[in-house]
Amino acid sequence: MTQTDKDRVLIFDTTLRDGEQSPGATMTHAEKLEIAELLDEMGVDIIEAGFPVASEGDFRAVKEIAERAKQAVICGLARANPTDIDRCWEAVRHAERPRIHTFIGTSPLHRAIPNLDKEQMAERIEHTVSHARNLCDNVQWSPMDATRTEWDYLCRVVEIAIKAGATTINIPDTVGYTAPVESADLIRRLIATVPGADEVVFATHCHNDLGMATANSLAAVEGGARQIECTINGLGERAGNTALEEVVMALRTRGDILPYDTRIDTRKIMHISRRVATVSGFPVQYNKAIVGKNAFAHESGIHQDGMLKNAETFEIMRPEDVGLSATSLVMGKHSGRAALRSKLSELGVEVGDNQLKDLFVRFKELADRKKEVYDEDILALVTATTTDGMADRLQIINLAVTCGTGGPARAELEMEIDGQEVSATCEGDGPVDATFKAVRELHPNGARLQLYQVHAVTEGTDAQATVSVRLEEDGMFATGQSADTDTVVASARAYVNALNRLLVRRDKTGPGSDAREISYKDAG
């Protein structure tokens, strides 16, 4: 490596693969393409686009992302067998810069799963990495659960993978078990011990089970790793993965002790964070570092006084650095279409003419109900516009709800289902329960409600409510979102939106096939 290479950290984003493994976070084909395009535009070096052998849908998404990518390396995941590797290559081969990522679990616990002894596993690693390298000159190999693999054996299999042609060696902390001092030491020792280690890039892939994923990743960089595997918003299995926005901004902000560069355009962070939160249905917690609603908010009197005198007293980053507007320009019912387009552009949202037309109608309706429409209100409208109506088999025509302390709530619902207008009246334990019962009466289904969340977009009694609903049916997950100043209306739209997503998936793939067709362990 040159001195410049040594100072550069590659950002490997696995939002579309490891991030999507979060239960309920499955994205549609169009959403995967959109997120991949945003990742490419913001400067991500490698995009792990999916697991091609998992399903036909995954294969098609990886293939199309590979064909569309402009800058990033496009990577697919493959288990340690020729069938997976061949399928992965078929998906990524048309990328300008393709990569095959193959893996196998090397810890005692993971060796027991395929019932391989150390010798048999070593042979499989040599064979499968060689097979991948014969197809592609950019091969990444991961010893899954590396941080719980015996030291001598880890050194041995890493050496085998390097000799077989791996160009990147990823060291995953699959269960979030390690700590920063161990993370740095492990990478440092591998580079110093394994023959050929100085000729490849070492990567780190950390999970957040003990809340140390970002710290462990940065420590690994100090130990010599030059690729960080991460996801937007820290999305991922269990407690999630290393958050891209956290490691990137840590490297940028603390260059005095972490003198490493990335090529990420940090001004695009907030926009992609919001889009991932929307399409995954996983809202960002308010106090989340970098992208949380409160990350740049100050309420304490002492803090506010300090901010007014000098922003650096309580902010180590500028809001503009991550794509937040320095000021929140209030728009209202007198604002025109040009002003709305300008505001959207300022917020990092580009829309076509047809979408702007629909969005402007919603904006005017909201402005008539609210005195002031803030940036957050507009972003919530964008979310509603891009998710509501995605599939129009089920549409809400009218909803009237009565409730109070004197008896059960009552919902009178009119819907259009497959072009036919139908109506139902149901009672329930509260207005939302009554409304959902009315939807189920008109559209009987076995979907189980796994998540129901309500977030106020802005302050005040006239604030919009953003509602997220996650449903599960026959192994398929779907998330719906909607926003409205009426929480019950937003709830109904979100519920129907999720049902529409389930219908789309069932129509395209048949019952159950949207779930992973094969079981697999991730490479991290």
H/E run at residue 56? helix 56-68
> pLDDT tens for residues 452-471?
989 887 777 778 888 888 88
Rounded CA Rg of the chain: 25
Contact 468, 483 (CB under 8 A): no
pLDDT at 427: 95
> pLDDT tens for residues 189-205?
999 999 999 999 999 99
| Identical fold between 3-280 and 394-509 | no
Please work out, in degrees rounded to the nearest 5, the angle formed at the alpha carbon of residue 327 by the alpha carbons of 325 and 330: 110
Please work out, in degrees rounded to the nearest 5, the angle formed at the alpha carbon of residue 263 by the alpha carbons of 35 and 172: 70
Q: Residues comprising the binding site?
A: 18, 205, 207, 241
356-372: burial string, b at 16+ Cβ within 10 Å, e else:
bebbbebbeebbeebee
Question: What tokens appear for 187 in the block?
Answer: 């990478």
Contact 396, 413 (CB under 8 A): yes
pLDDT at 360: 86
Contact 149, 106 (CB under 8 A): yes
pLDDT at 313: 56
pLDDT tens series, the chain, 524 aa: 444 466 899 999 999 999 988 766 778 899 999 999 999 999 999 999 999 999 998 999 999 999 999 999 999 999 999 999 999 999 999 999 999 999 999 999 999 988 899 999 999 999 999 999 999 999 999 999 999 999 999 999 999 999 999 999 999 999 999 999 999 999 999 999 999 999 999 999 999 999 999 999 999 999 999 999 999 999 999 999 999 999 999 999 999 999 999 999 999 999 999 899 888 878 888 889 999 877 776 444 444 444 445 555 546 788 888 887 655 556 777 778 888 888 788 777 878 888 888 888 888 888 887 767 777 778 777 766 554 444 478 999 999 999 988 789 999 999 999 999 999 999 999 999 999 999 999 999 999 998 898 988 777 777 888 888 888 888 788 888 888 889 999 999 999 988 988 887 776 554 434 344 343 444 45
3-class secondary structure, 10: strand
Q: What residue spans define the domains of the chain? A: 3-280, 296-323, 324-387, 394-509
For residue 381, give the nearest of 354, 397, 361 by alpha carbon. Answer: 361
CA distance 46 to 74: 6
pLDDT at 302: 42
What is the distance between the terminal CA atoms of the chain, rounded to a whole angstrom?
A: 26
Q: Residues comprising the binding site for Mn(2+)?
A: 18, 205, 207, 241
Those residues with Cβ within 8 angstroms of residue 10's Cβ, 6 or more apart along the chain or in another chain: 45, 46, 201, 203, 226, 227, 228, 262
> pLDDT tens for residues 477-501?
888 888 888 999 999 999 998 898 8
Q: Quick one: the chain helix, strand, coil %, rounded to 5?
A: 45, 20, 35
CATH class of 394-509: alpha beta
Determine the length of the chain: 524
For residue 151, give the nearest of 126, 188, 114 by alpha carbon. Answer: 188
Contact 465, 483 (CB under 8 A): yes
CATH class of 3-280: alpha beta
